[in-house]
Amino acid sequence: MQTGGHAPPSGEERRDFRTLVFGAQAVAAAAVALLAALPVLTGVASWPVRLAALVLAAVLAGGHLAWFGTGRFRRPVLALAVSAAFGLVPLLPLGAPWSPAAGFFAGGVLLVTRSVRAVPAALLACVAAGLGAALTTGSGDAGVGGAVSAAVAALTLFGLGTAARLVAEREDEVRELKRQVIAEERKRFSRDLHDLLGLSLSAITLKGELVDRLVPGRPEQAKAELAELLVMSRRALADVRRIAAGYRELSLDDECRAAADVLNAAGTRVTVDRSCLGDLPPRVATALATVLREGVTNVVRHSTASWCAFSVSTVDGTAWLEILNDGAGGVDGSGADSGAGLRNLADRVEDLNGTLTTETGPDGTHRLLVAIPLGSLEGRRRRAG
């Protein structure tokens, strides 16, 4: 539900408006063309001249719609050349009645350039229409009328053409927005698939290997481990459903326990410290839980760590997560597949105005540190409310 502003027009509304604008352009172009050709058609001119005037009018109106009617303005140079040839040149043989046709060229210049620099050229075309009318009639009033009729036609065609251009640009923006939304959703799905399933699949693999080793000599223990493997597989299935539904809120407590279980299953000594953890906003807790998942997954997959310690705390309005291990290749992203995962995590943390850093100490200890300021998130939530 929208809380303010206006809902964007639907696709059907945009199509209706585009059709309305195109129809208005067609009526205006036909009216200007007929206004120029009708005196010739109803006058004393010969049939060849009348036919030529009719063809010229049809070409001007049809060409204007073809080049400017959709708002895309394709082949503008050709459009202006045809408008000049059929709108300005016939002024001399056809005289004052043809002066409105000069508006096709003047309006086209304004539409193509979309700049105040085009105004002199458009005015010059209108003046040319007035001069042509004055020369063929010998009347100054006819010249003024010709210039004014050309200017009115130019402004009408320019206004409707601009409306068509704005409609086309709006449609392009909507199309680009849809493309971006689809791309973001694909990125989200790929990121969640990597981040949320990595730990679960690693744990299932480790449990499966353990069960395989236990079956020959210790079948009862293998059966117990197999029961835990089933629990892990169901959890992975729940993660898949969560990703598909777009629901990505995770429990930090659950992830801490799951991470410790996976590390223990991998034979890695683990130390967990949550003694200084306060209440966290769901988005922050989910971000930290996701980082913890990926960090522990990297330790299990890409390191030879004998121990791993992680702590989660809130200190001075900032949520902290630290993961330490002594493995070769680990949470610093030096593993073969961990770089993309850490980039995904950094994006998640940066979305909350936080930072994610990794480093390796002189003694080979790897460290991943996440800091997310809670104050900026709370302020942003109040502004949104």
In this prediction, residues 86-113 reach a mean pLDDT of 74
The rounded distance, in Å, linking the Cα atoms of 182 and 359 is 35
pLDDT-derived band at 371, boundaries 50, 70, 90: very high
348-366 burial by CB neighbour count: b if 16+ within 10 A, else e?
Answer: bbeebebebebeeeeeebb
278 or 29, higher pLDDT: 29
Kindly tell me if the per-residue pLDDT of 96 is higher than 70. no
The per-residue pLDDT for 5 is: 46
Q: Which residues contact 350 (CB under 8 A, 6 or more apart)?
A: 356
The rounded distance, in Å, linking the Cα atoms of 371 and 320 is 5
Q: Residue 239 — φ and ψ, nearest 5°?
A: -65, -40
Amino acid at 180: Q
The rounded distance, in Å, linking the Cα atoms of 284 and 307 is 26
pLDDT-derived band at 336, boundaries 50, 70, 90: very low
pLDDT-derived band at 382, boundaries 50, 70, 90: very low
**For strand 269-273 and strand 307-315, is the pairing parallel, antiparallel, or unpaired?**
parallel
In this prediction, residues 327-346 reach a mean pLDDT of 58
Packing angle, helices 102-113 and 119-137, rounded to 10:
170
103 or 352, higher pLDDT: 352
pLDDT-derived band at 106, boundaries 50, 70, 90: confident
The per-residue pLDDT for 44 is: 61
CA proximity to 295, closest of 314, 311, 313: 311
CA proximity to 87, closest of 115, 117, 67, 107: 107
The per-residue pLDDT for 108 is: 83
9 or 149, higher pLDDT: 149
CA proximity to 167, closest of 71, 73, 26: 71
pLDDT-derived band at 103, boundaries 50, 70, 90: confident
The rounded distance, in Å, linking the Cα atoms of 2 and 25 is 35
**Would you mind telling me the total number of residues written for the chain in this entry?**
385
- Work out the percent of the chain whose per-residue pLDDT is above 90: 9
Kindly tell me if the per-residue pLDDT of 142 is higher than 50. yes
The rounded distance, in Å, linking the Cα atoms of 123 and 287 is 62
> Which of 25-39, 73-87, 301-315, 356-370 is least confident?
73-87
As a whole number, the mean pLDDT across the chain is 78
Full set of structural domains in the chain with CATH: 11-178 (no CATH), 250-385 (3.30.565.10)
The three state secondary structure string of the chain is CCCCCCCCCCHHHHHHHHHHHHHHHHHHHHHHHHHHHHHHHHCCCCHHHHHHHHHHHHHHHHHHHHHHCCCCCCCHHHHHHHHHHHHCCCHHHHCHHHHHHHHHHHHHHHHHHCCHHHHHHHHHHHHHHHHHHHHHHCCHHHHHHHHHHHHHHHHHHHHHHHHHHHHHHHHHHHHHHHHHHHHHHHHHHHHHHHHHHHHHHHHHHHHHHHHHHHCCCCHHHHHHHHHHHHHHHHHHHHHHHHHHHCCCCCCHHHHHHHHHHHHHHCCCEEEEECCCCCCCCHHHHHHHHHHHHHHHHHHHHHCCCCEEEEEEEEECCEEEEEEEECCCCCCCCCCCCHHHHHHHHHHHHHHCCCEEEEEECCCCCEEEEEEEEHHHHHHHHHHHC
In this prediction, residues 273-295 reach a mean pLDDT of 84
CA proximity to 257, closest of 306, 299, 292, 298: 292
The per-residue pLDDT for 322 is: 94
> Which of 48-62, 80-94, 122-136, 358-372 is least confident?
80-94
Kindly tell me if the per-residue pLDDT of 385 is higher than 90. no
The per-residue pLDDT for 3 is: 42
The rounded distance, in Å, linking the Cα atoms of 370 and 338 is 16
265 or 295, higher pLDDT: 295
Kindly tell me if the per-residue pLDDT of 169 is higher than 90. no
The rounded distance, in Å, linking the Cα atoms of 231 and 250 is 17
pTM of the model as a whole: 0.51
